[in-house]
Amino acid sequence: MKKFIFLVLLGVSLYADEVYATFVSKGIKEASLRISSSGIVDMIKVDVGSKVKKGDLLLKIQNNTQIENVKIQQAQSDANEQTYIFQKNQFERYEQSKAVVDKNTYEQIYSSFKSAENNYKMSLASLQLQKEILNNTYLKAPFDGVIAERMIEVGDGVSENGTDLFKLISNDIKLIIEFDSKYIDKVKVGDKYTFSIDGSEKKRSVTITKVYPSIDPTNRKLKAEALVKDMVSGVFGDGYITTK
């Protein structure tokens, strides 16, 4: 029996290698958030550590002018719609009796109808534009996650896409694993990575889900990724990849 176990272990050692590798944990998604508008911040809904869902409101800049512009354009669009409906109905009546209507009158009615139609379409486009401008005064979470950094206060001025306001990290975390590029042909997706966090002797194992196709020229290292649970972003450590 002992001889059999020895042979099994010997077989494993012949076909498996351990590759030393370091890691740092990162969110699967990490984003520095900016706002697509300029103005003064008048409301902040989150702080560092706040957990958010996709679409949650994070921040708003002063937007009274934008709100009024939407109301004005909505009223104009509603008025243009009524004119369009009236001209359309009138044209359809003349269209039905086209044979007995003189050409000039018919063309005038048709021209009025097309003009009203064009005005209505233009007002709808303008209304949509004003709504988008208003919507850009609100910053919302692009994905589920936690606020890792906040770089803004109420009363601060911001420029369009010019100021980092928050850093958002997704709830799902991955390990960015680095190892010597000489093992490029050995480390594969599906290999096991056994690691420990700096300052801890507790070992954990994950499965490699991605191996990068290129070598980092600055340190001649190759990278791989693995999903991990119950860990925050920014953790360091090391371990060994068991290759098949």
pLDDT (tens digit, 9 = 90+) per residue, 196-225?
998 888 999 999 999 999 999 999 999 999
In angstroms, the CA 114 to CA 88 distance is: 8
User: At 242, phi and psi to the nearest 5?
Assistant: -95, 110
Q: What is the pLDDT of residue 15?
A: 54
Q: What is the pLDDT of residue 13?
A: 46
Give the residue-averaged pLDDT of 99-103.
79
Q: Is 75 a residue whose pLDDT tops 60?
A: yes
Q: What is the pLDDT of residue 106?
A: 87
**CATH fold of the domain at 64-135:** Helix Hairpins (1.10.287)
Q: Is 10 a residue whose pLDDT tops 60?
A: no
Q: What is the pLDDT of residue 5?
A: 44
Give the residue-averaged pLDDT of 155-173.
95
Q: Which CATH class is domain 15-29+170-243?
A: mainly beta
> What are the angstrom distances between the C-alpha of 39 and each of 21, 154, 163?
47, 11, 11
Q: Which two tokens stand for residue 153?
A: 């206060």
**CATH fold of the domain at 32-57+138-169:** OB fold (Dihydrolipoamide Acetyltransferase, E2P) (2.40.50)
Least confident among 15-19, 141-145, 237-241: 15-19
Output 177 or 2, whichever has higher pLDDT. Answer: 177
Please enumerate in sequence order all residues whose Cβ is within 8 A of that of 99, keeping only pairs 6 or more positions apart, or say none. none
Q: Which pLDDT band holds residue 12 (cuts at 50, 70, 90)?
A: very low
Q: What is the pLDDT of residue 96?
A: 84
Give the residue-averaged pLDDT of 171-184.
96
pLDDT (tens digit, 9 = 90+) per residue, 108-130?
999 999 999 999 999 999 999 99
The sheet carrying 145-150 orders its strands as 30-33, 166-169, 145-150, 51-52
The rounded mean pLDDT for the chain is 92
Q: How far is CA 11 from the centre of its chain?
A: 47
Give the residue-averaged pLDDT of 149-171.
95
High-pLDDT (> 70) share of the chain, %: 93
Q: Is 158 a residue whose pLDDT tops 60?
A: yes
Helix (H, G, I), strand (E, B) or coil at 128: helix
Q: Is 98 a residue whose pLDDT tops 80?
A: no
High-pLDDT (> 90) share of the chain, %: 84
Domain ranges of the chain: 15-29+170-243, 32-57+138-169, 64-135
Output 98 or 142, whichever has higher pLDDT. Answer: 142
> What are the angstrom distances between the C-alpha of 58 and each of 35, 50, 53, 104, 166?
10, 10, 10, 59, 9
Q: Is 43 a residue whose pLDDT tops 90?
A: yes
Helix (H, G, I), strand (E, B) or coil at 7: helix
